[in-house]
Amino acid sequence: MIGRTTLMMIKPDAISKGYIGAILAKINDAGFKIVAMKYLKLTLKQAEEFYKVHSDKGFYNNLTQFMSSGPIVAAIIEKDNAVDDYRKLIGATDPGKADEGTVRKLYGASIENNAVHGSDSDENAIIESDFFFSKLERF
């Protein structure tokens, strides 16, 4: 399965605006299979752990506070070329720069409130998937 899965999250902004269903439909329509899924609220500590690669960045505190401010959906999704294809589906990190029709263009508001997360490499997809899911929670 290595190289065939990625870890996605629907962020608190998109949840509070009622976009869970619309975003999952886009993922489904793009041909991804859902391997694992959870609806949960991260603690600040858990958000800090998840995003520790960004701990030296100026936006780290805002990012981790935002990601622990409300519930999220986390999922492992599968298809050929999952990491790159999902990143194409969601568009650029900044919704203002994302292509028309992408998830962030449709449902994101700003670089912080950008609706969704996607792993940036196969290596991080494994690390991020293991953060949320045990082997017993994957199908």
Q: How far apart are the C-alpha atoms of 81 and 79, rounded to whole Å?
A: 6
State which of residues 93, 105, 109, 124 lies at the interface with ligand CMP (CB under 6 A): 93
Token pair 């190289």 is at which residue? 3
Burial 23-62 (b: 16+ CB within 10 A, else e): bbebbeeeebeebbbeeeebeeebbbebbeeeeeeeebee
DSSP bridge pairs for 6: 77
Of 36-55, binders to ligand CMP (CB under 6 A) are 54
| Residue tagged active-site, from 11, 26, 104, 117 | 117
Q: Could you say whether residue 85 binds ligand CMP (CB under 6 A)?
A: no
Q: Could you say whether residue 102 binds ligand CMP (CB under 6 A)?
A: no
Q: Could you say whether residue 63 binds ligand CMP (CB under 6 A)?
A: yes
Q: Could you say whether residue 111 binds ligand CMP (CB under 6 A)?
A: yes
Catalytic status, residue 54? no
Query: Which positions are annotated as active-site residues?
Result: 117
